[in-house]
């Protein structure tokens, strides 16, 4: 099953809570993604508030630092009781292992931990010319996904176009969380490696992350239900 995660990229807690009122009538609360903008504006308070209201949360802070710093930061985040957190795979296997160690609570439980391979806004040309990665984007993503698996992570964030190569390299159980989702009739914004919700499901995406096609829609609830369908 493919689940839709709404990217709540808002500048304040008030804006986010007022947006979420549109989903009040639903039997099952949507899965939400809280990213840097909202977290830096509202702090852990917004996470606690949304958890209290029964939302499942993907906390998308994309940690990338030295292993010790990431381990300690993850220890703090594990207390927030979110459902998914993430790091950049570019931080190395050692950093990803440290992230998992920090995230794991004394009773052995922890949120799902996934790694960003290459941002869906990064083209192969930019990756090669600016980041000096002398490989195709497909090979880079396959390699980063294998590193994440070796570090004991649960899955990766990748473009829907890379789901098959990730699952073939790491197994069908290895979770793929895919942003870069656009309806066939909507604008692409700054995203480059994109596809539609339906195609992402056909490719085996476990979670699609959808921001502006829902948050900036005339009717966000209808756009969300269209994704789910
Ligand atoms: O508005 P849009 O649908 O483009 O939002 C996509 C969301 O997914 C944003 O919050 C962005 O930060 C996030 N994301 C992404 N590409 C990644 C990882 C996260 O677009 N590789």
| pLDDT by 10-residue block (mean), the chain, 229 residues | 95 95 94 96 95 96 98 96 97 98 97 94 93 96 98 96 96 96 88 88 97 96 96
What is the per-residue pLDDT for 192? 80
Cβ neighbours for 66, distance < 8 A, ≥ 6 positions apart: 95
Name 188's bridge partners: none
Q: Which candidate, 17, 23, 51, places its Cα nearest to that of 223?
A: 23
What is the per-residue pLDDT for 169? 98
Which tokens is 168 given? 């073939």
What is the per-residue pLDDT for 220? 97
Task: Quote the pTM value.
Answer: 0.94
CA–CA distance, 215 with 222 (Å, rounded to integer): 11
Q: Which residues are catalytic?
A: 62
What is the per-residue pLDDT for 58? 98
Number of the ligand 1 atom closest to the C-alpha atom of 7: 10
Verify whether ligand 1 is closer than 6 Å to residue 30 (CB atom).
no
What is the per-residue pLDDT for 187? 83
Verify whether ligand 1 is closer than 6 Å to residue 194 (CB atom).
no
What is the per-residue pLDDT for 20? 97
Query: How close is the Cα of 181 to the center of ligand 1, in Å?
Result: 9
* Distance from the Cα of residue 25 to its chain's centroid: 25
CA–CA distance, 182 with 65 (Å, rounded to integer): 31
Whose Cα sits closest to atom 5 in ligand 1? 211
Residues 137 and 158 sit within 8 Å (Cβ to Cβ): no
Verify whether ligand 1 is closer than 6 Å to residue 124 (CB atom).
no
CA angle centred on 122, ends 100 and 59, rounded to 5°: 35
* Distance from the Cα of residue 107 to its chain's centroid: 25
Residues 211 and 182 sit within 8 Å (Cβ to Cβ): no
The DSSP element (H or E) to which 145 belongs, if any, is helix 137-150
Which tokens is 161 given? 């176009």
CA–CA distance, 184 with 103 (Å, rounded to integer): 38
Residue 183: CB atoms within 10 Å: 16
């Amino acid at each position: 099953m493919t689940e839709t995660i709404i990217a709540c990229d808002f500048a304040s807690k008030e804006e986010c809570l007022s947006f979420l009122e549109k989903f009040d009538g639903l039997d099952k609360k949507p899965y939400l993604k809280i990213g840097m903008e909202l977290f830096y504006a509202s702090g852990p308070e917004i996470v606690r508030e949304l958890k209290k209201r029964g939302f499942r949360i993907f906390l998308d802070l994309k940690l990338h630092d030295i292993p010790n710093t990431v381990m300690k930061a993850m220890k703090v985040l594990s207390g927030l009781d979110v459902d998914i957190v993430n790091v950049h795979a570019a931080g190395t296997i050692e950093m990803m292992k440290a992230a998992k160690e920090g995230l794991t609570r004394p009773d052995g439980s922890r949120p799902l931990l996934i790694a960003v391979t290459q941002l869906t806004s990064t083209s192969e040309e930019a990756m090669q010319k600016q980041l000096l990665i002398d490989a195709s984007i497909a090979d880079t993503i396959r390699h980063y996904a294998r590193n994440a698996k070796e570090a004991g992570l649960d899955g990766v964030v990748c473009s829907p176009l890379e789901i098959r190569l990730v699952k073939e390299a790491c197994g069908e159980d290895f979770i793929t969380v895919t942003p870069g989702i656009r309806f066939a009739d909507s604008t692409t914004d700054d995203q480059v490696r994109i596809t539609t919700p339906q195609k992402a499901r056909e490719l085996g995406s476990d979670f699609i992350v959808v921001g502006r096609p829902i948050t900036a829609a005339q009717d966000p609830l209808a756009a969300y239900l269209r994704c789910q369908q």
